[in-house]
Structure 1
Amino acid sequence: MEIPLLLVVSVFFLSISITYAVRAMALRHGWVSVTDFRRTNEKRVPLLGGIAIFVGVFVSNLIWNFDFAASFLFSSILLVCVGVFDDILELRPRYKFLAHLLAVGMWFYLTPYESTILSQLPIPEAIGYLVGGFWFIGIINALNMIDGMDGESSSVAIISALCLFAVSTNVGTSQFSLSLAVACMGFLLYNFPPAKIYLGESGSSLLGFLLAGLSLHTMVEPFQWWHVLAPLFLLSFPEIDAVLAMYRRFKNNTSISVGDRDHLHHKLQKIDFSVRQTLIIIVCASLYSALTTVALLEAQSASLASMISILALGGLLLLLGATLYFEKKRALLLSSYSQGMIKKHLALTEELFFDANHFNGMVIDLLPYYKELQTRGLLAVQDFLRDTSELLRNNFPNAQFKLIGLYTLVSIHPEGALTPEIQQKVAGDFFVLLDRNRVRKNGDGLPWGLSFCTNKYSKEQFFKLLGRDLQIQESFSKVS
C-alpha cells in the first residue's frame, strides 16, 4: 500500500501553520481558557486548537482520499462548529450532546453499514446502529474528559491513529488515519507541556469522533469474533478514565457534565509525578493498548486471543490498581498527620450528645482535599486545616465537633443553627475557602464532602456514619 509522501508533508506543515494562525487569532480576540477549579494555573491559554486539526486532516484528504473522507467531513462540520461556539461562549451541555447525536447520525447515514465492523456482529442492524451510536458518544466524551493535561489527548490520538494506520487493510482508512496522526503531531508541537494552545471542545470532540469512526472501519479478513475487542483495547485508557469519572460523579451525586480534578492524570500527579512524567506514563499505557490491538488482530486462534486479552486487561488493571493504591496510601499518611493539626485548631469532643429524634448534623469529608493537597507538602495541609477550622468556629461557635476516623468531621448543632439560609452561606464560604486553597472539586451544588443531616433528612446515612443502629431505645444518644 503506497501512501503519498506529499500527503504526509502537506498535513504536517498545514497543521503547524494553521495552529500558529489560530493561536494568534484566539489571543487577539480573547478566546482563551477560563481559570477555574479544573485549570488552576493563572496563565490563560488560547483555545480552538481543533480547527487546526480539522483543516489539516480534511484539506489534504479532499485531494487524495475524498471518497473515504467525505462521510467524516460532512458529519463532523456541525460537531466542530458547535465546539468552537462552546470554546468562545460556553454552551450548555445539552446543546453539545445534541450536536454529537446529529454528527453520529449523519455519519451512519453517509457510511454503508456493511463497511463497518458492526456488520460482522450477530445482531440485527437496528441494534448495531444503537451499539455504534453508544460507542461514538462514549469515545467522544472519553477524549473530552482526558483533555485536562497538556499534550494528553493529542498524544493518545497519535498512537491510536498510527495503530489504525498499521493494521487496516483498507487504503482509505489507512490514509485517513495517517493524516490524523500527522495533523496531531503538528499540533502537539504547540500543545506539549507547557501548552501554548489547547484543543478546546472543538478539538477533543473531533478527535473522539474521528477515532471512534475509524475504529469501526478497521476490519481484518477473515473476520473473527475477537476482532471486536480490538477497538476496545485500542482506546482503553480514555475508556477507563471515563468510566471512573462517571462512577465518581454518580457516587457524589454531581452532574456527569461537571468536571473535576480526580482523573487518572491528576492521580498520577498526586503521587509526585510531574506533568511530563505523567504524560510519558500515559503514552506508555497507550502504546501498550495499541500493541494489544495489533496482537489481537494477528491472533490465529480463539485461545491465543483469549490469553492476549486476559494478559492485557491484567496489565491495565495492575497499572490502575497501583495508581489508586499509592494515591490512597499517600492520602492516609497525610490524614494521620492532619489529625493532630485539626485538634490544634478546632476543639474536638470525644463524645457527641444529641436527641436522636430531633437533631441537626453536618458532615465534612476532607479526604478528597487531602488527595489534592498531598502534592504540595505539609504547609499547604496546615493552611487548609487552619482555614477550615476558622470557618467552622466563626459559623458554629456552639456546635459539638468530633473526628470520625482520620478525615471526616461530624458536628451536632443547636436548634435553628442549620437553617437553609445558613446552609447556603456555609456552602458558599466553603467554596471560597476551597478556591483560596486551590482544591475545589466541583462547580455546582454543595462542595464535595459537605452534607447536612437532620432527623428528617439523611438520618439513616448519618447514623451509619456514626456506627449507630437506627433502632434506638433511648431519646438521647451518646456517640463515643
Structure 2
Amino acid sequence: MRLPLLLLLVAVVSWLLTGLIRRYALARNLLDIPNARSSHQVPTPRGGGLAIVGTFLAALPVLAWFDYLAWPVLVCLLGAGAWVALVGWWDDHGHIPARWRLLAHFAGAAWVLAWLGGPPSLSVLGVAVELGWLGYPLAALYLVWLLNLYNFMDGIDGIAAIEAITVCLGGALVHWLLLPGEPGWILPLLLAAAVAGFLGWNFPPARIFMGDGGSGFLGLMLAALSLLAARSAPELLWCWLILLGVFVVDATFTLARRVLRREKFYEAHCSHAYQHAARRIGVHRPVSLAVGLINLGWLLPLALLVAQGSLEGLPAVLIAYGPLVGLAFYFGAGVHNQGPARSQVNGK
C-alpha cells in the first residue's frame, strides 16, 4: 500500500502547492500578460509548474529509501531537475539570453548522462547498436531538444500537462509489460501524479500557467526517463519516442519551416500546429484533449506492439509519425499566424 499512498499524496500536495503558488503570483503581480504572440487574452499567474518540480523531486528520496530507486538515479534526476527548474524560474522572473540558457541546458544534460553512466545502446531492426563516444553528444542533443520543445509546446491551456500524464502512463505500462520484475515503471507514475495535481488548476480555462521552470523540467525529466528505460531494455527508447510523437513532430516540423525561412527560430512565436488548431476552433480544451486521445488511442497501441516484440522500433516510429506529420502540415505548423482566434481563452 506504500506506493498508491505515495502517488495520492504527491497529487494532493501538488494541487495544494499550485494553489499557494497562484496566490503568491497574484500577490507579486507575476502575471503572463497577453501580447501579439500569446494564445490567451486574460492576464494569468505563471510559475505553477514549480509545484510539479517540488513534489516530484521531494518524493524521489522516499522511493530510494524503500529501494524502488537506485541512489545514482536519484542524484541524476534531483540534480538536473532542480538545476533546469531554477534556470527556468530565473528566466520567468527576468530574462536570460538564449545562449546562456542553452549552455545551462547542456550542463543539465551532461549531469544526466554522467549519473546514468552514459547513453544506452540502440536496437535497430533487431540489431544492438553501440554508439560509443558518439552516443554522448547525440544523447545530449536529445535531452536538450526535448527540454526546449516542451517549452515551445506549452502554449495553450492543459496541453503540456495532458501530454505529460498520458506519455507517463504509457511509459509505465510498456515498461511493466516488458520488464514486470523491475520497478522502472514507478518513476513515470510518480511524475504523472505530480502533473495531475497541477492540471487541476491548469485545465482549460487555466487559472495558472506552468512557466518555463515547469515546462523545461518536464521536458528534461521525460527525456531522462526514456534514456533510463532504454538502459533496461533498448526497445523502450522507441516506445518513448512513439509516445512523445505529438510534441516531437509539431515542434520539429515548425522549427524546420522557420529555419528554412531564415527566421530567428529561438524567438517566441505562435505558429505551431496546435496553436493554429486552437485559433480555428476558438477554444483550447478540444485541442488539448485531442492530444491526450491521440496519445492513448494511436501512439500507445503502437508502443505496446513494440514492447511485446510484434513490431520493430524504427518502423513503428515511422508509422506513428506519418499521420502526425500530415496533421502538422494540415494545420500549418510553422506558418505565420493568419489572424486571432474567434474567442480565445487562456493559454500559456
Is 1:135 the equivalent of 2:135?
no
Q: 2:83 aligns with which of 78, 81, 89?
A: 78
Whole-angstrom distance in 1 between the partners of 2:336 and 2:196: 35
The 1-side partners of 2:34 and 2:202 are apart by 18
- TM superposition shift of 1:118: 5.3
Q: How far is the alpha carbon of 1:98 from its aligned partner?
A: 1.5
Indicate if the aligned counterparts of 1:62 and 1:69 stay in contact, CA closer than 8 A: yes
Contact 1:101 1:137 (8 Å CA) reproduced: yes
Change (3 A) 1:301 1:139: closer
Is 1:234 the counterpart of 2:233? The answer is: no
Q: How does 1:235-274 map to 2 (within 5 A)?
A: 235-272=244-281, 274=283
Secondary structure of 1:196's counterpart equals: coil
1:323 and 2:334 matched:
no
How far residue 368 of structure 1 moved from its aligned partner, in angstroms, is 4.1
Match of 2:300 in 1: 290
1:96 equivalent in alignment to 2:101: yes
Contact persistence 1:117–1:218 (CA under 8 A): no
Whether the 8 Å contact between 2:159 and 2:289 is mirrored in structure 1 is no
CA contact (8 A) 2:88 2:216 kept: yes
Q: Tell me the distance in 1 between the aligned counterparts of 2:206 and 2:267.
A: 23
- Relative distance call for 1:190 and 1:301 in structure 2 (3 A) is closer
1:149 maps to amino acid: I
The equivalences for 1:17-416 within 5 A come to 17-39=16-38, 41-65=40-64, 67=71, 68-113=73-118, 116-117=120-121, 122-168=129-175, 169=179, 171-219=182-230, 228-272=237-281, 274-287=283-296, 288-300=298-310, 302=312, 308-324=316-332, 368=336, 371-373=338-340, 375-376=341-342
Higher normalized helix content (fraction of residues): 2
1:77 deviation in Å? 1.6
Mean CA deviation greater in 41-50 or 310-319 = 310-319
Distance in 2 of aligned mates of 1:284 and 1:83: 29
- Aligned AA for 2:224? G
**Bigger-Rg structure (1/2):** 1
AA in 2 matched with 1:51? L
Letter in 2 for 1:12: A
SS of the aligned residue for 2:31 comes to coil
User: How far does residue 112 in structure 1 lie from its aligned partner after superposition?
Assistant: 2.0
Q: Which amino acid aligns with 1:155?
A: I
Q: Structure 1: state its 5+ residue gaps.
A: 328-366, 378-437, 439-480
Q: How far has the Cα of 1:307 moved from its partner?
A: 6.3
Q: For 2:133 and 2:329, how far apart are their aligned partners in 1?
A: 38
Q: Secondary structure at the match of 1:4?
A: helix
Change (3 A) 1:171 1:13: farther
* Amino acid in the other structure paired with 1:244: F
Provide the alpha-carbon RMSD of the alignment.
2.8
What residue identity is the alignment partner of 1:49? G
Relative distance call for 1:30 and 1:240 in structure 2 (3 A) is same
1:392-437 CA-to-partner distances (Å, cap 9, x unmatched) read xxxxxxxxxxxxxxxxxxxxxxxxxxxxxxxxxxxxxxxxxxxxxx
Task: Output the amino acid matched with 1:16.
Answer: W
For the structure 1 residues 44 and 301, does the alpha-carbon distance in structure 2 shift closer, same or farther, using more than 3 Å as the test? closer
Q: TM-score, normalised by structure 1?
A: 0.63
Paired amino acid for 1:159: T
Q: What per-residue deviation string (whole Å, max 9, x for no partner) do you get for residues 293-335 of structure 1?
A: 2221212465xx67645543333234334434xx9xxxxxxxx
In structure 2, relative to structure 1, the CA distance for the partners of 1:117 and 1:197 (3 Å cut) is farther
Query: Percent identity over the alignment?
Result: 23
Structure 1 CA distance for aligned equivalents of residues 315 and 261 of structure 2: 37
Q: 1:254 to 1:266 in 2, by over 3 A?
A: same
Q: Distance in 2 between matches of 1:217 and 1:124?
A: 16
User: 2:45 aligns to what SS in structure 1?
Assistant: coil
Whether the 8 Å CA contact 1:296–1:309 is kept in 2: the answer is no
Q: Structure 1 residues 28 and 166, CA, compared in 2 at 3 Å: closer, same or farther?
A: same
CA contact (8 A) 2:39 2:156 kept: no
Q: Residue 125 of structure 1: CA displacement?
A: 2.2
TM-score w.r.t. structure 2 length? 0.85
Structure-2 change in CA distance of 1:295 and 1:273 (3 Å): farther
